[in-house]
């Protein structure tokens, strides 16, 4: 069943609440003060049933200018609007403001409802329709159905119900595949149950038992029970109004204006990049540096406007801007918002969030403006590529990209595949991606680092992997860092030998004397077999004039794997070590464990020497120690 929210809009005393009651039988004015004053103050809610068994949620909003803040809290979840206009009064100030707000919030469908038609003659109704046509021109209600009604006589109520039913069938649903998000418009407690919050679920599906996060406070709570229009359910879907009973949190810890969301699905930020528009009807311009009230969901926060490409926005104009907040804001890319002048409170504009956690920008930066243009108008693949570039080398998953873009993960698969096929993106780890531009920038840093290293260490076969990770990717976890470096190896840019990385075209160049010393050292260690002497004794074999060069060549042999370090100042021939590894592999082909004594016998060496060799195998991952025995390590068969 389709889940849609229909909201009222219009000037005070034009009959919105009476119209909702005529349609649903529910008087949405529930407060004593509302009854006494005959004036809607808070949001009201009802269920509108249709003959085929389908239904829509209804939100009745206050029409008085003093309660625009409450109207905004209800308007954010509206799918279809009923712009209510009294036939005997026509368009009034809040009629215009409400229509502007709905347009800014991205409402795309609805109907215009003429109320109190029993108080207007035929000529007045004709004039009213003419005014509606001119006033809605260029808005989302241009050409929308106009229904004449009277709540007092029942005139037009069934026609309006049919019109709304047809509009419901034409209206696309909100996505239930995105992580759930519910801006809170009411908080109360129920004896025996505890804290209850209500709101319109604008994304996703919320289920009984789900863990939730309150934003921006970050407090966690569990869904104890759920109700839709007073009926208990196990799941609420986007497009439904829900009452959520939260376990593990007190009423005083929750407030209207917060958002209930899936944990870690919404980023908090003090900055938002936006497309900001100034209303055509606004009596004021929006100037760079202006302070405004930022109305988003059910929240209202103060923000400073930084116009990124001009000094002021005149009525009817729009531009890229950065909104800067003193407190964290919980918004997502694609969210709509309204801004009101700081003082006096007047609705002056609004827009759409393009980046929900940007860096602080300088004004008139061409690169920033180009990036925002892609975010706003780029193709699906271009927007994915932009998001990938923003992640740099963090290697996001498709789910993380979807969260950043406010899109469904399944819909990104085609765009990601296209980017991979064109070489504009890569997949260094399975299911984790990077923009080629980010990889190119990383490679430029890597190449510069290694060029410097090779210049300082010409006899080293390369830099240790741990050292390269620390210098190049110090914030990355080892698996991600290794995946990025391995990608460069696959691309033929890097070479990895014996745990050291070098530029692919780098080679150690020995002088004739160094080459001779290298040969002599290799033969010396090969001849010593499994019982190598300490380094000092090996170097003592060389004349004083050759000792310094021999030390440099010895270090070079360690870097290229020709020698293996068994212990400080004790090295083993790489060829001999390879034979030791083969012995271990042969043993584990038929046995699950290996003891020190058996390894000693296999190698026909001393216990101490066998222990040094086993510890070296442990460090290399070829074996792993479990108590008094060894088992085959993962690296043994690589």
List of E strands, 120-240: 146-148, 181-190, 194-200, 205-207, 211-215, 220-228, 231-233, 235-237
637 pLDDT band, cuts 50/70/90, is low
553-582: burial string, b at 16+ Cβ within 10 Å, e else: bbebbbbbebbbebeeeebbbbebbeebbe
Q: Is 359 within a domain?
A: yes
Residue matched to tokens 């407690």:
189
10 and 157 assigned to the same domain? yes
Q: Is residue 411 part of a domain?
A: no
Residue range 332-388, pLDDT digits in tens: 989 999 999 988 889 999 999 999 989 999 999 999 999 899 888 877 888 899 889
d(CA 318, CA 33): 40
CATH assignment at residue 291? 2.40.30.10
Is 157 in the same domain as 186? Answer: no
pTM score of the predicted model: 0.73
Domain that holds residue 572: 512-637
CATH code of the domain in which 96 resides: 3.40.50.300
pLDDT for 557 equals 82
In a domain, residue 245? The reply is yes
Whole-number pLDDT of residue 397? 92
Q: Taking CA 427 as the corner, what is the angle to CA 426 and CA 428, rounded to the nearest 5 degrees?
A: 105
Both 283 and 304 in a single domain? yes
pLDDT at 183: 97
Same domain membership, residue 284 and residue 246: no
Decide if 76 contacts 296 (C-beta within 8 A): yes
Please indicate, yes or no, whether residues 22 and 156 belong to a single structural domain of this protein.
yes
Q: What is the pLDDT of residues 22-75, one digit of tens each?
A: 999 999 888 888 778 878 888 999 999 999 889 999 999 998 888 898 999 999
Residue 389 resides in a domain: no
User: Is it true that the peptide bond before 467 is cis, omega within 30 degrees of 0?
Assistant: no
pLDDT score recorded for residue 192: 83
Residue 636's pLDDT band (cuts 50, 70, 90): low
Same domain, 12 and 135: yes
What single string gives the DSSP state of each residue in 460-501?
Answer: -S-EEHHHHHHHH-TTS-HHHHHHHHHHHHHTTSEEEETTEE
Residues 6+ apart with CB under 8 A from 537: none
Cα–Cα distances (Å) from 591 to 376, 414, 603, 629, 631, in that order, read 62, 48, 16, 12, 9
pLDDT, position 481: 93
Q: What is the pLDDT of residue 65?
A: 85
Q: Where is the domain boundary, 240, 261, 282?
A: 261
**Is 60 among the domain residues?**
yes
**CA pair distance 449, 444, nearest whole angstrom:** 9
**Quick one: 48 and 162 in the same domain?**
yes
Does residue 242 share a domain with residue 327?
no
Check residue 457 and give its pLDDT: 87
Instruction: With cut-offs at 50, 70 and 90, classify the pLDDT of residue 211.
Output: very high
Helix (H) or strand (E) holding 427: strand 425-429
**Is 163 found in the same domain as 210?**
no
| Chain segment 473-514, per-residue pLDDT in tens | 988 898 999 999 999 998 888 988 878 899 988 888 888 888
More confident residue, 315 or 556: 315
Burial group, residue 75, by CB count within 10 angstroms (0-12, 13-18, 19+): buried
Alpha carbons 196 and 217: distance in angstroms, whole number: 17
Residues 6+ apart with CB under 8 A from 205: 176, 180, 235, 236, 237, 238
Residue 423: per-residue pLDDT: 86
Q: End of a domain among 261, 290, 314?
A: 261
215 and 319 assigned to the same domain = no
On whether residue 187 sits in a domain, the answer given is yes
pLDDT at 547: 82
Residue 505 lies in a domain: no
- CA separation, residue 112 to residues 7, 73, 128, 133, 160 (Å): 12, 21, 11, 10, 10
pLDDT at 344: 86
- pLDDT score, position 505: 84
Tokens 């159905």 belong to 145
Final residue belonging to a domain, choices 211, 234, 261: 261
Least confident of 58-72, 529-543, 589-603: 529-543
DSSP-derived pairing of the beta strands 211-215 and 259-261? antiparallel
Residues 21 and 159 in one domain: yes
pLDDT of 414-447, one tens digit each? 889 888 888 889 999 999 999 999 999 999 999 9
pLDDT higher than threshold 80 for residue 634: no
Task: Return contacts of 245-249, CB within 8 angstroms, 24+ apart.
Answer: 245/190, 245/193, 245/194, 245/195, 245/196, 246/194, 246/195, 246/196, 246/197, 246/212, 246/221, 246/222, 247/194, 247/221, 247/222, 247/223, 248/220, 248/221, 248/222, 249/195, 249/214, 249/219, 249/220, 249/221
Could you say which DSSP state residue 174 is in?
Answer: P
Task: Assess whether 236 and 319 both reside in one domain.
Answer: no
Helices marked H in 422-462: 436-456
CATH number at residue 530: 1.10.10.10
Kindly report whether the peptide bond that precedes residue 445 is cis, defined as omega within 30 degrees of 0: no
Residue 118: which of 88, 141, 161, 93 has the closest Cα?
A: 88
Measured between alpha carbons, how far is residue 232 from residues 227, 242, 326, 477 in Å? 4, 10, 39, 45
* Structural domain includes residue 442: no
Pairwise CA distance, residues 172 & 121, whole Å: 38
Q: What pLDDT band is residue 139 in, cutting at 50, 70 and 90? A: very high
Domain count, the chain: 4
Query: What pLDDT does 169 receive?
Result: 92
């Amino acid at each position: 069943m389709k889940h849609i929210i229909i909201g009222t809009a219009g000037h005070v005393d034009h009959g919105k609440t009476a119209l909702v009651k005529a349609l649903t039988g529910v008087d949405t004015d529930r407060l004593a003060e509302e009854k006494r004053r005959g004036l809607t103050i808070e949001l009201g809610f009802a269920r509108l049933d249709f003959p085929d068994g389908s239904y829509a949620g209804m939100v009745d909003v206050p029409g008085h200018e003093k309660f625009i803040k409450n109207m905004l809290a209800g308007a954010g979840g509206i799918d279809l609007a009923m712009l209510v206009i009294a036939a005997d009064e026509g368009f009034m100030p809040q009629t215009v403001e409400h229509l502007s707000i709905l347009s800014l919030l991205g409402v795309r469908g609805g109907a215009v409802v003429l109320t109190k038609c029993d108080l207007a003659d035929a000529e007045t109704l004709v004039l009213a329709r003419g005014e509606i046509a001119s006033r809605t021109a260029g808005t989302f209600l241009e050409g929308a159905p106009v229904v004449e009604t009277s709540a007092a006589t029942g005139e037009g109520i069934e026609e309006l119900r049919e019109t709304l039913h047809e509009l419901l069938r034409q209206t696309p649903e909100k996505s239930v595949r995105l992580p759930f998000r519910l801006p809170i418009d009411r908080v109360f407690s129920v004896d025996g149950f505890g804290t209850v919050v209500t709101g319109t679920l604008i994304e996703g599906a919320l289920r009984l038992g789900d863990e939730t996060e309150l934003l921006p406070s970050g407090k966690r709570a569990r869904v104890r029970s759920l109700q839709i229009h007073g009926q208990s359910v196990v799941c609420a879907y986007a497009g439904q109004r829900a009452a959520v009973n939260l376990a593990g949190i007190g009423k005083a810890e929750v407030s209207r204006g917060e958002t209930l969301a899936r944990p870690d699905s919404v980023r908090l930020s003090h900055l938002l990049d936006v497309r900001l528009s100034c209303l055509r009807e606004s009596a004021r311009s929006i100037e760079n540096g202006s302070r405004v009230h930022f109305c988003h969901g059910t929240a209202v926060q103060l923000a400073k406007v930084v116009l990124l490409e001009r000094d002021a926005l005149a009525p009817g104009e729009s531009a890229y801007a950065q909104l800067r907040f003193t407190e964290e804001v919980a918004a997502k890319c694609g969210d709509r918002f309204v801004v009101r002048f700081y003082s006096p409170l007047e609705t002056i504009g609004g827009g759409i969030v393009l980046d929900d956690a940007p860096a602080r920008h300088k004004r008139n930066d061409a690169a920033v403006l180009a990036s925002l243009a892609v975010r706003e108008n780029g193709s699906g693949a271009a927007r994915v590529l932009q998001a990938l570039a923003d992640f740099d080398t963090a290697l996001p998953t498709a789910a993380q990209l979807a969260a950043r873009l406010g899109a469904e993960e399944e819909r990104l698969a085609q765009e990601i595949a296209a980017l991979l096929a064109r070489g504009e993106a890569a997949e260094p780890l399975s299911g984790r991606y990077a923009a080629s531009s980010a990889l190119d920038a990383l490679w430029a840093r890597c190449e510069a680092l290694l060029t410097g290293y090779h210049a300082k260490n010409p006899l080293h076969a390369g830099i240790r992997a741990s050292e390269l990770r620390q210098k190049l990717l110090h914030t990355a976890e080892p698996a991600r860092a290794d995946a990025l470096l391995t990608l460069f190896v696959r691309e033929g840019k890097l070479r990895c030998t014996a745990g050291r990385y070098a530029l692919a075209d780098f080679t150690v160049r020995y002088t004739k004397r160094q080459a001779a010393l290298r040969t002599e050292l290799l033969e010396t260690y090969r001849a010593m077999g499994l019982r190598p002497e300490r380094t000092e004794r090996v170097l003592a074999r060389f004349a004083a004039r050759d000792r310094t060069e021999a030390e440099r060549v010895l270090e070079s042999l360690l870097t290229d794997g020709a020698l293996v370090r068994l212990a400080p100042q004790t090295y083993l021939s790489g060829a001999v070590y390879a034979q030791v590894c083969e012995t271990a592999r042969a043993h584990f082909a038929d046995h699950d464990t290996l003891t020190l004594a058996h390894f000693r016998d296999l190698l026909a060496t001393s216990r101490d020497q066998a222990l040094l060799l086993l510890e070296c195998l442990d460090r290399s991952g070829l074996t792993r120690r479990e108590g008094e025995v060894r088992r085959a390590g993962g690296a043994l068969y690589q």
